[in-house]
Amino acid sequence: MRPGTGKFNTAILTISDRGSRGEREDLSGPALKKILDDTGNFDIVREAIVSDEPDEIESVLIDWCDKERVALILTTGGTGFSPRDLAPEATSAVIERPAPGFAEAMRAESLKITPHAMISRAVSGIRKATLIINFPGSPKAARECLEVVLPALPHALEKLAGDPSDCGS
């Protein structure tokens, strides 16, 4: 949580070869940002677009977790079956503890909308005190998936920050 704001420090990382080269305007990152801004619970402190290079993705994730100490990182893009879709591998390389429920919930709800949800390889997990969640690169799918996990995020982030209260009390 950002001191004095009551908001969770949040970062959005878009993973796109064409977007990182300026060949395509990213719409999924701004779509996620709008939803988070509308809640009033999140302070977007970092945004970036990187190519689908695992080393580049890992470097940004590590920096935002270890140095910037953001509470939440949402990645968008790179979660499908294309040979260059390596966001799950890069995320898995940096997390210390898996938190599979977020990705599982997104896939389960997305399957109600499209059978293509089965090809999502999104992962979610924790590095130090940061929760990282992979989202699809489609603005529509990213919005739908964020709406699925959004109700659980404040509680999850409070627990990750050390909230000692009992769950469900």
In a domain, 148, yes or no: yes
How do residues 139-167 score in pLDDT, each as one tens digit? 999 999 999 999 999 999 999 999 888 77
In a domain, 1, yes or no: no
- The burial class, CB within 10 Å (0-12 / 13-18 / 19+), for 56 is middle
What pLDDT is recorded for position 125? 98
In a domain, 53, yes or no: yes
Residue 67 has pLDDT above 60, yes or no: yes
Q: How many domains does the chain have?
A: 1
CATH of the domain at 37: 3.40.980.10
The whole-number average pLDDT for the span 41-62 is 98
Strands 8-15, 72-76: pairing is parallel
Assess contact for 72 and 157: CB atoms under 8 A: yes
In a domain, 38, yes or no: yes
What pLDDT is recorded for position 169? 58
Euclidean distance between CA atoms 2 and 8, whole angstroms? 6
Domain residues for the domain of 64 are 8-160
In a domain, 144, yes or no: yes
Alpha helices, H only, the chain: 17-20, 28-39, 54-62, 87-94, 101-111, 139-149, 153-160
Q: Read off the pTM.
A: 0.95
In a domain, 168, yes or no: no
